[in-house]
């Protein structure tokens, strides 16, 4: 699976806070140390470093590498400008004091031969020979004795060098003395990083000790850090019919299935289905609205799902986008819905659907919940319409709960083929989204709630919790083990509340309770 491509290159950061360490001998110091990380709001991680032994040390070293696909590139890429084959990257989140003798280092990772030319960092010429065809020796520039409140890296692509580089980044912080604080800046909000902390002194450098955490600024909105979503049927089928008020308490988000299309492109309508009403002994729109309000009063959120297996809502023009936003917003006001779920299994136009959702966000405000329920085939490539839509609205998207069922075998992020109905299927396919632009807090696992709920891919609830543990903690994995953990993985979804109740409620009890144990 290709990682998401960006129109340019991102510089790796090597941030020097105080004087660089003295030359180190071969033997490492015996010092032990304590470390805490204060993950600041926005783009910083602050470390309090305390010497925990009597051994003398001169300072600390904090280093990390930022893997591709963490989302940092999408943040920084917004500040990239190009004029022909000349490129300028500006990061206004950078704020660092560089001491005398300090330097900033970076490297280029491209897809073709050659290397960037005419490189400058904040106006100073770059040194070194970064390799444009792969991650080679980083370039660097002396920027001593000054404070930089922005970072501007400029370069010219060499002859034959394609426009477009994969994103990577790194940083190295040195801080003197014990009991000091080091700050790494330039990180995207709501991204998880693992740092290696070392002590150094005249005797050498200690072994590294890792600390992992997530920067602040996560746009979790009105929902818990980890939450359970369930679909509620506004129709009759072999599952048990329910009033909305009969939703089990374990569900945090209820998606009402479904809003329907009309002959007017983009228009969405909703009302309690007459067949359902009859099946539950009478259920009016007014009673439904009261149930929505009651769920919200108990801390739940209720959204309207648009589409479904047979849904035909089409948003293929600017006019249809406007009508979609207007009618969904009207239904939100009429019924009290907190947002919308996009479950269009018969195709969508990412350009106009993005336009519609942004227009809806402008009307409803920052607490609007936007979820998506693509099929597995829809999220195999960033070039697919669903994946494109998710990335295009990443700044306002709440979560993607892909349907890990009715699928057959699919490719994981390691290009391995995985069959549905296994822990590996869930983790390897979630990895595709996690390593190709979506934040971990925007990815959830969607599974059937037991027999009858799907034609294939039904798994025991305990298998879902194993997959969540594998992604969040690195435990409970099958043969596929992600290269890193995603403690911010958002949660799980099930089709459906009705099928869960029909099958005894085991999905909600097992998965809902387990979500509360995640990091």
Nearest Cα neighbor of 510 from 462, 475, 467 is 462
Residue 372 token pair: 């998506």
Under 8 Å between Cβ of 235 and 276: yes
The DSSP code for 291 is H
| Alpha-carbon dihedral sign for residues 128, 130, 135, 141 | positive
DSSP element (H, E) containing 508: none
Residue 358 token pair: 């942004």
DSSP element (H, E) containing 444: strand 443-448
Name the residues annotated as catalytic. Answer: 345
Nearest Cα neighbor of 85 from 105, 121, 122, 110 is 110
Under 8 Å between Cβ of 232 and 239: no
Residue 320 CA to residue 503 CA, distance in Å, equals: 40
As a three-state string, the secondary structure of 448-506 is ECCCCCCCCCCCCHHHHHHHHHHHHHCCCCCCCCCCCCCCCCCEEEEECHHHHHHCCCH
Beta-sheet pairing, 59-66 with 44-51: unpaired
Residue 56 token pair: 């003398």
Residue 140 token pair: 């660097």
| Alpha-carbon dihedral sign for residues 118, 120, 124, 130 | negative
């Amino acid at each position: 699976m290709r990682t998401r491509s960006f129109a340019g290159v991102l510089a790796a950061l090597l941030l020097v806070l105080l004087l660089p360490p003295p030359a180190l001998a071969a033997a490492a110091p015996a010092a032990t140390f304590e470390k805490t990380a204060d993950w600041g709001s926005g783009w910083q991680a602050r470390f309090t470093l305390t010497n925990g032994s009597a051994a003398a040390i001169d300072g600390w070293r904090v280093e990390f590498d930022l893997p591709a696909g963490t989302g940092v590139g999408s943040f920084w890429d917004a500040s990239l400008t190009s004029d022909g084959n000349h490129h300028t990257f500006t990061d206004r989140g950078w704020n660092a004091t560089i001491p005398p003798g300090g330097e900033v280092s970076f490297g280029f990772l491209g897809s073709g031969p050659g290397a960037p030319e005419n490189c400058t960092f904040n106006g100073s010429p770059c040194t070194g020979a970064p390799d444009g065809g792969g991650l080679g020796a980083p370039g660097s520039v002396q920027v001593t004795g000054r404070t930089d409140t922005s970072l501007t890296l400029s370069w010219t692509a060499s002859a034959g060098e394609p426009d477009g580089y994969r994103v990577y980044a790194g940083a190295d912080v040195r801080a003197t003395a014990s009991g000091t604080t080091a700050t790494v800046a330039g990180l995207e909000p709501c991204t998880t990083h693992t740092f290696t902390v070392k002590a150094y002194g005249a005797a050498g450098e200690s072994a590294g000790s890792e600390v992992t955490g997530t920067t602040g600024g996560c746009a979790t909105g009105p929902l818990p850090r980890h939450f359970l979503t369930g679909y509620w049927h506004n129709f009759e089928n072999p599952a048990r019919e329910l009033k909305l008020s009969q939703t089990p308490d374990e569900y945090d988000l209820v998606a009402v299935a479904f809003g329907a299309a009309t002959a007017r492109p983009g228009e969405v309508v909703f009302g309690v289905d007459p067949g359902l009403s009859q099946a539950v002994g009478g259920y009016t729109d007014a009673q439904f609205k009261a149930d929505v309000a009651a769920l919200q009063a108990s801390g739940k959120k209720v959204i309207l799902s648009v589409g479904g297996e047979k849904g035909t809502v089409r948003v293929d023009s600017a006019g249809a986008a406007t009508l979609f936003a207007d009618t969904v917003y009207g239904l939100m006001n009429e019924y009290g819905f907190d947002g919308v779920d996009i479950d269009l299994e018969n195709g969508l136009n990412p350009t106009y659907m993005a336009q519609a959702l942004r227009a809806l966000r402008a009307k409803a405000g920052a607490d609007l919940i936007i979820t998506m329920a693509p099929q597995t085939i829809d999220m195999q490539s960033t070039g697919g319409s669903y994946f494109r839509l998710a990335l295009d609205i990443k700044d306002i998207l709440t979560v993607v709960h892909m349907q890990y069922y009715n699928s057959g075998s699919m490719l994981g992020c390691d290009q391995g083929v995985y069959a549905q109905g296994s822990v590996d299927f869930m983790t390897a396919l979630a990895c595709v989204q996690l390593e190709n632009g979506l934040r971990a807090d925007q990815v959830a696992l969607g599974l059937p709630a037991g027999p009858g709920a799907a034609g294939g891919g039904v798994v025991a609830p305990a298998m879902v919790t194993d997959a969540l543990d594998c992604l969040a903690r690195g435990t409970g994995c099958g043969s596929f083990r992600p290269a890193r953990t995603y403690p911010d993985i958002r949660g799980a979804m099930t089709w459906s509340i009705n099928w869960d109740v029909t099958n005894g409620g085991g999905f909600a009890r097992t998965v809902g309770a387990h979500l509360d144990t995640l990091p």
